[in-house]
Structures are given as C-alpha cells and as structure tokens.
Amino acid sequence: MNRKLLFRGTGTALVTPFRSDGEIDEAALKRLVDFQIKNGVEALLPTGTTGESVTLSDDEQARVVEIVVAQARRRASDSRVKIIAGAGSNNTKKAISLSKRAIACGADGVLIVGPYYNKPTQQGYFQHYAAIAEAIDAPIVVYNVPGRTASNIEAETMLRMAEEIPNVAGVKEASGNFGQIMEILRHRPKGIGVWSGDDAVTLPLVALGADGVVSVVSNEVPDLFSEMVRLCLKGKFDRALKLHNRLLPLMNINFVESNPIPVKAALAMMGMIHEQYRLPMVPLNEKHRPRLKKILEELDLID
C-alpha cells in the first residue's frame, strides 16, 4: 500500500472567532488564515477542539471550513498548505455526515477525534474509523486525546487501522504516553504520519521520529513555532531547543484553563479577534491575565 505523507511540519488547530453577538466572525477568520499562511505553517485544521466545534451547528462547521479553504486557496502559491477539517463526533453517523460536508467544501482531509463519553472498546474504535473511511474518499487523521475523550486508542489499534484502512493517514497523538507513541512510530507503515498533539512535547517527539505537530500555540506564534518544528525535522536540535525554551511559557499558559480559553484571550490581546466564546466556555479568569500579558510582551506580540 503506497501512501504519501499528508503533511510534515506544523498544522495549526485554528480557533473560531466570534462576534460580540455570538455569530462567527468571518472577517477575523479570514485574517487568521492569512496570518497563518504568511508565517509559514504547513497545514490548517479548522473546526477541531480548539475551534469549539461542539458548539457549532453542522451548517456553521461547514461554513467555517468553506471560508478557510477559500481564503487559503486565493493564491496558487498557498495551495501547499493542507486543510484538514475537524469532523469528529461520538455518533459515527454524524461523523460521516460532517466528513462528507467538509470534503465537499474543499478540505484535503478530516481530523476525527476518538468518540468521547461513549468509551468504546478497541474494536469499537476500529469499526468507527472503518465506517467513516468507507463513506469518504479522503485522508483521515485519527485524533487520540484521552484527557478529553475519557478513553485511549491503543497503539495496537492504531497500527491495525494504519494497516487495514487505506485512507487512514496517521494520528494526532495527545495521550502523553511516550511508550505508546514510540510503539506507533516504531511499527507504523510507510506514509503514515504521527503528529504531536501537545505543543510542549513536540521537540522530543520529533526527535523520536514524529512528523510534526497539530498545534495550539501556532495560533499566536506561527512563525516562531513552525520554525522550531522545521529545525527539529532537519535535526538542528540545538537551535530548536532555544526556540522551544523561549516559547515554553506561552505553551504552558495556553493550558492554564481549558483550551481554547487562554489562546483566544491571547489573540484578543494581540488585536486579532474579539474575546468571545460559546458556553460552556467562559472568559479567562482575571488572575491569569497579568501573567499572560507579560508572556506576550516578552515575545513582542503586544506592546
């Protein structure tokens, strides 16, 4: 089975900006896409966890993907940037529907989070992804994030999917289990991507053979973080480590409260978006704001 790696480098898990009336801020979303492409990321991932997808209607999800695709394809030179749309659900039938709509909107592939709350068996995971793959002719990135889904896609299951489901393109791994991730890296078939799902461990995972990252922090610093990842991929870890250490405070504070609360607060401070969320997400606690502001100042992201 010949697979081509979907992307190598940094994919940004895009926030979804909202207006003060709670509707999608399409102008701000277009600016974010331009900001990301101008600053060198290799992929954009709208309508994922960071994009507050679970509070978007199906029509809104499709609209966000449509905007991102159209904005990213305005210039032929930008076509290198892959658009991988979040289309996951804990209802397999709904995940199929969201995936079909995302591909119809022009996405290059879909990111499918492991079903949350249901806590499927490993066979249940396999059948979930197999059913989606049967329904669409596009790459699927598996997203394993036990901290949000309450269940883990084991290495054996991921490797089975990589072998037996032709359009499974790889995995965004956010389990934090290095032993598990190393097993996937060690045994994965050629062309299967492994991307860090946690910014702070991207450097060591690339050192172990990972292909890059699906990132939150690149919303704020796409230039610096994508450069760090490229340095890692070139084996220039001494230079990459300096950037990693410089960005680590921002990586950490981005998760001082549930994602995407801090990153949207930061982007608002940077003048990129309004600080608007949809319940049950609420604004960043005031006690964290001075520290966030200081970190942004130290990175010259705000005056």
Active site positions, annotated: 143, 172
List the one residue out of 110, 184, 174 whose CA is nearest residue 146: 174
Q: Report how far residue 222's alpha carbon sits from residue 231's, in angstroms, rounded to the nearest whole number.
A: 14
Our CA dihedral for 126, 14, 6, 238, rounded to 10 degrees, sits at -110
With the C-alpha atoms ordered 87, 4, 131, 209, is the resulting torsion angle positive or negative? negative
Burial 22-48, CB ≥16 within 10 A → b, else e: eebbeebbbbbbebbbebbbbbbbbbb
List the one residue out of 212, 206, 201 whose CA is nearest residue 84: 212
Instruction: Report which DSSP code applies to 298.
Output: H
Strand 140-144 versus strand 212-215 pairing type: unpaired
